Amino acid sequence: MIALIKKHSFHFLELVGEYVSLIGDVITASIKKPPSWSLVREQLFHIGVMSVSVVAITGFTTGFVLAAQSFYQLGEKGLSGVTGVLVGKAMITELGPILTAFMVIGRVGSSMCAELGSMRVTEQIDAMRSMATNPNAYLIAPRFIAGMFMIPLLTLFSTMMGIFGGYLIAISLFHMTAASYFEPMQLHISLFDVASGFIKSFIFGVLLITVCCYKGMKATGGAAGVGKATTQSVVTSYILILVSDFFLTIALNLINQKLKYSWMQ
């Protein structure tokens, strides 16, 4: 039993080491010799533009649900005026970054893993190494750079669509005014909330791109192995994003409290 635990522990540490090494190699390659604009532009279109529709629908419908739940839960207590604040806060700090990352994983991350996995099992990546071409720089770096730029932008778009969707429900179904929906946001949504959502979306983007690419680069066993790697990449990305979201929330709020305390001194 102890030997089995040690074996799995060493295997886990080996995977973590390979993953961290991959990230370091990609960052180094991106800085030393950035990939060509054509490769980055293709990934910007694939990750960003092609994901706009699904991100918009997700954010829009989430705003519907948030507005309805907030109004029904708080309206009978005389707090229906905070509907806009709840929708805005939830979309900016939590649901916007998380749901956008989940949608991008399902639409882009899985295809990245499958594409790289197919190249891996057909030995195309080995052929690139034999020609003195770094596959991390050629295949992963363009996706990494595009993901860092596009996922925060997609998160911003999703958040705006969620707030707008909540606004439509609030004024059409619950007969709230635009002022009662938007004005409390100016008082209760701070720059920290916006920065928190941006930081989360950036880190989620790095996680999902690198995890999906790593799993694809390590795929073995033919078509079945590619399918298994793709499934693992999606599940692993989901878990890492949820876990990192908890720790980021704690860390960012602690930093915010310390900054407020230092300013008061």
Instruction: Provide the pLDDT for residue 4.
Output: 60
Rg (C-alpha) for the chain, rounded Å, is 22
Q: Is the pLDDT of residue 262 over 80?
A: no
Instruction: Provide the pLDDT for residue 180.
Output: 87
Tokens encoding 144? 């990494």
Sorted by where each begins, the domain ranges of the chain are 24-254
Average pLDDT, the chain: 89
Instruction: Provide the pLDDT for residue 200.
Output: 96
CA distance linking residue 98 with residue 38, whole number of Å: 29
Query: Each residue of 160-212: pLDDT tens digit?
Result: 999 999 999 999 888 888 888 898 888 888 899 999 999 999 999 999 999 99
Q: 7-16, 91-100, 188-197, 234-243: lowest mean pLDDT where?
A: 7-16
Burial of 86 from C-beta contacts in 10 A (0-12 / 13-18 / 19+): buried
- Whole-Å CA distances, 225 to 119, 134, 139, 220, 236: 12, 23, 20, 5, 16
Best CA proximity match to 170, nearest among 178, 161, 158: 178
List of residues 6+ apart from 157 with CB closer than 8 A: 52, 55, 56, 59
Instruction: Provide the pLDDT for residue 177.
Output: 86
CA distance linking residue 247 with residue 235, whole number of Å: 19
